[in-house]
Amino acid sequence: MHLPITGVSPHAACRLRASKLRLPSTRRPGLASLACLVLCACLALATPARSAEDGAASTATGLAAVPEPGGPAAISQSAQTDQAGQPAPGEPAMPAAPAALPEQAKQAAPPSPAAREFEELREEFAASVYAPTLNRLNHYLATFRDPKAIKRIEGRVQRLAEPAPGYLDFVAGDALAKLTSSGAAALGSQYFLYVDRNPAMQAIFVCFYDAAAGRVELLGHDLISSGDINRGADYFQTPAGVFEHVLENFDYRALGTPNAEGWRGLGEKDSRVWDFGYQSGMKFYKNGTTRSQLRLLLHATDPVAGEERLGRIDSKGCIRISKGLNRFLDIHAILDWHYEEWAKTKPANWLLRKERKPVSLPGRYLVVGDSSPDGGLQIAAPPKQAARP
């Protein structure tokens, strides 16, 4: 009687069993070969398709089961995941692809960023951008004495810590609509910035457009100051739209020198200034409004007096951000797709930081939207013009 032989092919089992047959070759020539053939035929008829239990039995006997090409075992090995479904050490986990994605779309869709990268960036943003802004606002609440100023700061804390229900959905939806209508979404998955110029919100979001899933993910948000058209003269409403960050409007860095009033308008020394070129914006002219050209910049503000004002319209049309956000965007090349390509030919350039850690899919777009019902043009009356001497 023979014990079942598992984990090997029928031919191998045939050879193993034939070797144990005691058939004198001098008396019965060819009988061993005939017995081997009969035994192989019997095994072929009696052996069912391999099942999960067969695989377990093979492992128990110390013989590893060979995975079928493209089968569950092969998929598990190629994905390099452990039994709990977690990424193997050193391997990024990728977001699951949407169901029923056409094969052509699967081949054409750019890869999403590693889920691990996105979560690490989210944690870094919370620690280096969100927390300092919230701590600064709480410090103001503890030191300010003016009830009106305290109320304004409380409103900014509320906007930052507990956005109104449905607001984040609006941001993601509006960003996706603008990327799609402008054609920017056709360039595939990438990081980008979304600014809400609504005077009651004044917020900026670091976002990721996932082309495969057709959705926008919000990584984190902070307070800004956009243009205050109500101040007249050369003050503009920050224009809405989708603005590409290109080399033709080359960026620069702040010198950090104060003006006559002690104001460092572009932030501390070496703060990044993102230049989006000349754009058409709304401003007051005589007794009404008109459109004119402004230089659209994204930059830090005075680290003392300026950051206190973030969260309200205040600039001449540019977008002011905190120093924490300025460094985050700079270090991770969030808007630097064109600049990273340029840096491949000029690695020793003066603009990009040597210690930068670019994201896997740098972007190139600043999206400016407006969540207010009237498009942000909340004007009671034209500003008074100074009387001529």
Residue 341's pLDDT is what?
Answer: 97
Say whether pTM exceeds 0.85: no
Question: Do 337 and 363 meet the contact criterion of CB atoms below 8 Å apart?
Answer: yes
| Residues 19 and 167 grouped into a single domain | no
**Has residue 148 been placed in a domain?**
yes
| Residues 154 and 62 grouped into a single domain | no
Say if residue 93 is exposed, middle or buried (CB neighbours under 10 Å; 0-12, 13-18, 19+).
Answer: middle
Lay out the sheet containing 365-369: strands in order across.
215-223, 203-210, 190-196, 365-369, 241-244
**Two tokens at 243?**
């603005």
Of 208, 171, 175, 173, nearest in space to 189 by CA: 208
Of 221, 130, 212, nearest in space to 171 by CA: 221
Residuewise pLDDT in 10s, the chain (389 residues): 433 333 334 444 433 333 333 333 434 444 444 444 444 444 444 444 333 333 333 333 332 332 333 332 332 222 333 333 333 333 333 333 333 333 333 334 445 556 889 999 999 999 999 999 999 999 999 999 999 999 999 999 999 999 999 999 999 999 999 999 999 999 999 999 999 999 999 999 999 999 999 999 999 999 999 999 999 989 999 999 999 999 999 999 999 999 988 899 999 999 999 999 999 999 998 889 999 999 999 999 999 889 999 999 999 999 999 999 999 999 999 999 999 999 999 998 999 999 999 999 999 999 999 999 876 555 544 455 443 33
Of 294, 304, 306, nearest in space to 368 by CA: 294
**Has residue 77 been placed in a domain?**
no
CA atoms within 13 A on the CB side of 363: 27
Question: Do 71 and 49 meet the contact criterion of CB atoms below 8 Å apart?
Answer: no
Say if residue 70 is exposed, middle or buried (CB neighbours under 10 Å; 0-12, 13-18, 19+).
Answer: exposed
Residue 59's pLDDT is what?
Answer: 33
| Residues 61 and 192 grouped into a single domain | no
Bridge partner list, 256: none
Residue 143's pLDDT is what?
Answer: 94
| Residues 168 and 263 grouped into a single domain | yes
In angstroms, the CA 378 to CA 296 distance is 21
Question: Do 172 and 165 meet the contact criterion of CB atoms below 8 Å apart?
Answer: no
| Residues 67 and 120 grouped into a single domain | no
**Has residue 286 been placed in a domain?**
yes
Helix axes 147-161, 131-143, angle to 10 degrees: 160
| Residues 218 and 312 grouped into a single domain | yes
| Residues 333 and 265 grouped into a single domain | yes
**Has residue 175 been placed in a domain?**
yes
Neighbouring residues of 22: CB distance < 8 A, sequence distance ≥ 6 = none
In angstroms, the CA 48 to CA 37 distance is 19
| Residues 302 and 179 grouped into a single domain | yes
Residue 39's pLDDT is what?
Answer: 43
**Has residue 138 been placed in a domain?**
yes
**Has residue 78 been placed in a domain?**
no
**Two tokens at 349?**
């350039």
| Residues 176 and 250 grouped into a single domain | yes
Bridge partner list, 367: 194, 242
Range of 29's domain? Answer: 10-72
Residue 351's pLDDT is what?
Answer: 97
Count of domains observed in the chain: 2
**DSSP 8-state code for residue 128:** I
Residue 326's pLDDT is what?
Answer: 98
| Residues 211 and 318 grouped into a single domain | yes
**Has residue 376 been placed in a domain?**
no
| E strand or H helix at 318 | none
| E strand or H helix at 291 | strand 288-300
**Has residue 88 been placed in a domain?**
no
Question: Does residue 36 sit in helix, strand or coil?
Answer: helix
| Residues 123 and 59 grouped into a single domain | no
